[in-house]
Structure 1
Amino acid sequence: MLAAKSADFVRFWTERRVCTLTTLRRDGTPHVTPVGVTLDVASATARVISSRGSHKVRHVLAAGEDGALVAVCQFEGARWSTLEGRAVVRQDAESVADAVRRYAERYRVPRENPERVVIEIAITRVLGLR
């Protein structure tokens, strides 16, 4: 899905930039929080590292095995891009280590966090910057 995207799109999602993640609370209202997002263009997967007890992680877990509908967004001036998809929480050491490596490449090496998990988003729709 993302393989046909422009070099500008890929660059936009690899440059250091604060993003937002929108999850839904049990009552259906949106919860928006600033996050760091990494994008794997080849697999159309976005990842967010977080603590196990965070609201965003609890919202995704509450959606059950099928995952939660979420959106990640970033902007710079008039340029913006939103990725929508279904998120699940990965807690295994291999998934967490991979997500931390990707985060360190885009942002910086994150602090140690024994409660770290990964919100993994299978992207189904792209809006904005093409």
Structure 2
Amino acid sequence: MAHDVRDPSPDFLAFWREHHVCTLTTPRPDGSPHVVPVGVTYDPEAGLARVITSKNSTKVANILAAGPEGARVAVCQVKKGRWATLEGRATVRTEPEVVADAVSRYTERYDRTPAPNPDRVVIEIALERALGRG
């Protein structure tokens, strides 16, 4: 079922506020999918999803390899019969204020402050599609 990225149903948004491990799928340079577990925050007002990670990760390398336009990616979460996917174009952000905001959002959703990481960056996904059930 499709959802409005910027105006999701209350149930869809509530599901994205719950504590769930998600997956991020990025395209490798050869086009094959690279899927890894991540924490994701969803900001419908801005039309963004965010993932904090290390600048040396494979997911960051895949996004950077796609060029300045970024890479088409998907984040997904599942719990029993409920599922939700957000799709869009990902870019890598390094500005300290953007990283700090993403860490704050992660801390709020996951009720855990991540360990300090001087190599932390943000994968910012400009959302184009939202799908889900439950």
Letter in 1 for 2:107: A
| Structure 2 residues without counterparts, runs of 5 or longer | none
Check if 1:66 corresponds to 2:69: yes
Measure, in 2, the Cα distance between the counterparts of 1:75 and 1:39: 15
| TM superposition shift of 1:43 | 1.2
Measure, in 2, the Cα distance between the counterparts of 1:123 and 1:45: 5
Match of 1:112 among 104, 111, 116: 116
Letter in 2 for 1:115: D
| TM superposition shift of 1:128 | 1.6
* Identity rate, percent: 60
> For each residue in 1:18-67, what CA deviation from the matched residue of structure 2 results, as whole angstroms up to 9, or x when unmatched?
00000010000000000000000111100000000000001011111101
> For each residue in 1:100-124, what CA deviation from the matched residue of structure 2 results, as whole angstroms up to 9, or x when unmatched?
0000000110011000000000010
1:5 aligns with 8
State the number of aligned residues: 130
Measure, in 2, the Cα distance between the counterparts of 1:27 and 1:37: 25
| TM superposition shift of 1:3 | 3.7
Alignment TM-score, normalising by the size of structure 1: 0.96
| Paired residues for 1:11-26 under 5 Å | 11-26=14-29
| Structure 1 residues without counterparts, runs of 5 or longer | none
Structure 2 residue matching 1:13: 3-state secondary structure: helix
Letter in 2 for 1:18: V
| Paired residues for 1:84-95 under 5 Å | 84-95=87-98
Match of 2:43 among 40, 44, 48: 40
CA contact (8 A) 2:23 2:75 kept: yes
Match of 2:55 among 52, 55, 63: 52
2:30 aligns with 27
Alignment TM-score, normalising by the size of structure 2: 0.94
1:102 aligns with 105
Structure 2 residue matching 1:98: 3-state secondary structure: helix
Task: Tell me which stretches of 4 or more aligned residues in structure 1 moved more than 4 Å.
Answer: none
CA RMSD of aligned residues (A): 1.1
Measure, in 2, the Cα distance between the counterparts of 1:63 and 1:92: 20
